[in-house]
Structure 1
Amino acid sequence: MGHINLAPYSFFNVFNYKPPIVAFSSVGWKDTICNVRDSGEFVVNLATRALAEQLNLSCAELASTEDELGFTGLDTLASQYVAAPRVRQGPRVSGVQADALAA
């Protein structure tokens, strides 16, 4: 199973509503992609201006085993539909079950 990590992806999109399709891109095969591959799911937390400074801290080069949420001072809550936790302070969240990864 993957580790909890907080990845600051600015580029993601929702392409459909039935079924909902969420996509994001990564420059290289980073921790988030490995976690999605290993667990089959992820959570999209929408950022607010009030959370921007804390979320930007997650851009730091940390080891894959380091707690990025703890590093940023953010907390988690259990997600409703997936095992991956959500950011407690975030106002909007989507739990996503991965269907495919493309290199």
Structure 2
Amino acid sequence: MPSDSSAKSAWAAEVIGDVLAIHLHRDFDASGKDHDWAQLIVSRWPGPFARVDVDLSKLGTRVNSTFFAGLYRLHGHYAKTGDKTITLIGPDERAIQCLDILSMRPLFRVAPKPGN
């Protein structure tokens, strides 16, 4: 059952078996209100989980540094040393380029958008 951080949150998370599924929506961080999204997630769902899926397929092409800091926070909390526990689903090519620039891409698995 999905749990949002608030009625107007641009993200949702749910536990499905031993998987934490996080869904980011198009208006994610549009007004800076989602700056603490990763901290809220790790405090509400501390794990452990066999896998953490972050669905980026509905996220727009514009994300700020808070988004990447949040991904790094999720990695630090959920990933075991050297383990790619977190899967980024459907990231935009621009987000992948930013992950490369920040040297963060090796920390995550990348999967195509559903249906591709």
Assess same fold via TM > 0.5: no
Tell me: higher relative CO, structure 1 or 2? Use CA pairs within 8 A at least 6 residues apart: 1
If each structure's helix is expressed as a fraction of its own residues, which one has the higher value?
Answer: 2
